[in-house]
Structure 1
Amino acid sequence: MAIDAWLLEQHRQGKHPPTLRFYTWEPAAISLGYHQRRWPESWQNLTWLGQSVELVRRPSGGRAVLHQGDLTYAVVTSGLSERRLEAYQTVCQFLIEGWGQLGFKLDYGSAGRGYIHNPNCFGTATGADLILSDGSKLIGSAQLRRDHAILQHGSMRLDPDIKLHQQVFGMIALPSILQGFNQNYDGESNTLFSDVQNLVITALVQAACQCFQIELKTEPLSNHEWQAIQANSAQFSVL
């Protein structure tokens, strides 16, 4: 979260170009929407695979997201429509195209304002979210504006752990999509999960280049940039 927020601020100040990044979470974590003030007390004491499940706050809005078995994307850019839904749809172009290349047709969700009463981001799908043909939510996204600059980031459901999801939200997790890549998947292959992550990233990078007519350049953060990010990371912790 601290990296996403830093990239947005740097872009707002004209110090950093538009950015596309992908990342996973280690250990597992629950991210809360910026304005989310209520959550179960039990979330403070969750563990998974012998590690505490971290509780963090996003700079963007929305509801809680369990980051385990997912892949997160973040886009920082500018020059988009001031209408929020239009801006969402502009960014989501590459997600729809990329997943389409992998054989997954995505459409927008249609939940009304009632979604705000559901603490689980993946429990409903709004017009800013992307769903599969069976109506299940694959990608939940949130957006933050700072002047002309926009951060849009979101979680892409790949292979959620059923027991952990049940423990967190009290409901059965949406199914793994790994079977869509391998019909023989038995839920035990870490190699397949890693391979699918790489396939998804490759497809989405290609789609972003095509949709936005850009050429992406891989650039790691410098030590100085890491220090600046870490100096502001405490604001995203939930005590």
Structure 2
Amino acid sequence: MNVWRLIPLIETSGSIQMAIDEWLLEQHRLGIHPPTLRFYTWHPSAISLGYHQRQYPEFWKNLTWQGTKLDLVRRPTGGRAVLHQGDLTYAVIISGLQGTRLQVYEKICEFLILGWKELGLELHYGSAGRGYIHNPNCFGTATGADLVLADNSKFIGSAQLRRGKAILQHGSMRLKQNTTLFSQVFETEVSQQIKLPLLQQGNDLIEIIENTLIAAASSCFNIDLVVQPLSEPEWNLILAEKQLK
């Protein structure tokens, strides 16, 4: 059975979260670091842009949420803009998966489908075509790489970056997103907040989701997950490389 690293939940700025993901990918590519699973939240709330997304509304630079300016962060992965408020992000760093990009997406997403089924949500893959590139909002359309609910509303949007045989896949799971803020950012009407059977769990919600998805990942990938927080030397390397960019 393979051993993966599990990094405990980290809440910090989007730019640091992206630096962590990119650093973990590079360390894995070099053979220094094992496959990794982690979950994280964005503080302050942010809009993340896909790596190649150059056009976006100018007013995004001045948006605020609960008195704090929204960060505008560029991801190392592709895709469209994502609002990170009231969401939970996952990241998988892995290598050795065979198949097309979509087949790899589906292989990694197996644990999300299994975990959320345990949590009471049935998810399936989206079916949008290439037209998504004209929509600045990642959650405005769902491709075969995304997971949607029974009404076809997008619940998890994922993006991928490959370096050699190493793969980073990360994605945002909509939990308690403010619909007014979402409508303000993307200037569109949005359906009512997704009703999760677990919301009554209150402050334990993220912990419950995380533990369920960890168990699902262990089963789907047939792995042992070893909890190992980022060490101080690792933090220093990540922050140093972030400053160089």
Please report the TM-score for the alignment, with normalisation by the length of structure 1: 0.92
Q: CA shift at 1:162, angstroms?
A: 1.5
Q: Partner letter of residue 141 of structure 1?
A: S
State how 1:188-207 maps to structure 2 within 5 Å. Answer: 192=202, 194-207=203-216
Deviations 1:176-234, CA, capped at 9 Å, x for gaps: 3344225xx6xxxxx71x32211111110000001111110111111111111112225
Secondary structure in structure 2 of the residue aligned to 1:216:
strand
Task: Name 1:188's counterpart in structure 2.
Answer: none
- Alignment partner of 1:211 out of 216, 220, 228: 220
Three-state SS of the structure 2 residue aligned to 1:232 is: helix
Distance change >3 Å, CA 166–CA 179, structure 1 → 2:
same
Q: Percent identity among equivalent residues?
A: 61
1:160–1:174 Cα contact (<8 Å) kept: no
Counterpart CA distance in 2 for 1:177 and 1:200 is: 15
Q: Which ranges in structure 2 are unaligned for 5 or more consecutive residues?
A: 1-17
Q: What is the distance in 2 between the residues matched to 1:105 and 1:60? A: 26
What is the CA–CA distance in structure 2 between the aligned matches of 1:235 and 1:199, rounded to whole Å? Answer: 37
Does residue 159 (structure 1) correspond to residue 168 (structure 2)? The answer is no
**2:54 is equivalent to residue 45 of structure 1:** no
Q: By percentage of residues, which structure has more strand?
A: 2
Partner residue, 2:136: 119
Q: Matches of residues 17-166 of structure 1 in structure 2 within 5 Å? A: 17-166=34-183
Aligned to 2:7: none
Please say which of residues 38-47 and 169-178 is displaced more in the overlay.
169-178
CA distance in 1, matches of 2:243, 2:170: 20
What are the Cα deviations for residues 57-81 of structure 1, in whole angstroms up to 9, with x where unaligned?
Answer: 0000000000000000000000012
CA distance, structure 1, for counterparts of residue 212 and residue 63 of structure 2? 34
**What is the alpha-carbon root mean square deviation over aligned residues?**
1.4
Shift of 1:175: 3.4
Contact 1:160–1:173, Cα closer than 8 Å, also in 2: no
Higher mean C-alpha displacement, 218-227 vs 69-78: 218-227
- Please tell me whether the aligned partners of residues 179 and 190 of structure 2 are also in contact (alpha carbons under 8 angstroms): yes
1:224 aligns to what? 233
Aligned partner letter, 1:157:
R
How far apart are the structure 1 equivalents of 2:218 and 2:53? Answer: 34
Q: Is contact 1:28-1:68 (8 Å) kept?
A: yes
TM-score, normalised by the number of residues in structure 2: 0.89
Aligned residues: 228
Correspondence for 2:10 = none
Tell me the CA shift for residue 135 of structure 1. Answer: 0.9
Of 170, 181, 204, 2:187 maps to: 170
Following TM superposition, where does structure 1 have runs of at least 4 consecutive aligned residues deviating by more than 4 angstroms? none
Q: 1:199 to 1:34 in 2, by over 3 A?
A: same
